[in-house]
Chain A
Amino acid sequence: DGGITQSPKYLFRKEGQNVTLSCEQNLNHDAMYWYRQDPGQGLRLIYYSQIVNDFQKGDIAEGYSVSREKKESFPLTVTSAQKNPTAFYLCASTPGQTYEQYFGPGTRLTVT
């Protein structure tokens, strides 16, 4: 089956710890994105990557870091510098030729 996988579905961490969220796609898409969703709100762009070994900051990149060493993978690290990390994190990809974005199932991160 082709698609985007995110793991884990639920993640719990203590304050002060860095945590890495996984995002893998086998759709052969060039571009990948990370969004954050808070309750009752829309999606806000954290980072995006249009090609391997290249990525750009989105609207709310502070406290986050990413890497894009492989086309299929775009992990997101939530660092201890992120002041309010508890949220629903969504990864998406797009073929590049069209603009439709395909989303993974999301990871719900809770930091206490």
Chain B
Amino acid sequence: GQQVMQIPQYQHVQEGEDFTTYCNSSTTLSNIQWYKQRPGGHPVFLIQLVKSGEVKKQKRLTFQFGEAKKNSSLHITATQTTDVGTYFCAANYGGATNKLIFGTGTLLAVQP
């Protein structure tokens, strides 16, 4: 079946350092979404990317969608302790069902 690879699985940074997580698909995506799950919480939608080469920013977060629509990245500039959690990409391959294939997630730990 379709799979989405997400790396790294875990990243530990000092507060103020940058952080990036990457998602890769072997086949072209219709769109990709990003979610954040705080420890003990549920996933919360961050953003959706649809267009080839699209770049979107939310304050310190920058999201990119590859030109071939097979990969995506989330970059956080100058991490804060509030950024702690697991970041998931979720791939939509199109069709009528709106099914999402979630990556395995990247757990971000931020040391003050």
Contact = CB atoms under 8 A, between A and B. Distances in A.
Interface of A: 31, 35, 40-45, 48, 50, 56, 58-59, 90, 94, 96, 98-106
B97 A50 contact: yes
A31, A42, A101, A103: most-surrounded residue (chain B CB, <10 A): A42
Nearest to B44: A103
A101 B100 contact: yes
Q: Which range holds the interface residue count of chain B?
A: 20 to 34
B92 A99 contact: yes
A56 to B, nearest CB: 7
Nearest to B10: A40
Contact of B33 (A41, A44, A45, A99): A99
Contact of A43 (B45, B98, B102, B107): B102
B103 interface: yes
Contact of A105 (B6, B42, B97, B102): B42
19 contacts: A40-B104, A42-B102, A43-B90, A45-B99, A45-B100, A48-B99, A50-B96, A59-B1, A90-B43, A94-B98, A96-B98, A99-B92, A99-B98, A100-B45, A101-B45, A101-B90, A101-B100, A103-B42, A104-B42
Closest 5 CB pairs of A and B: A42-B102, A103-B42, A43-B102, A42-B104, A100-B45
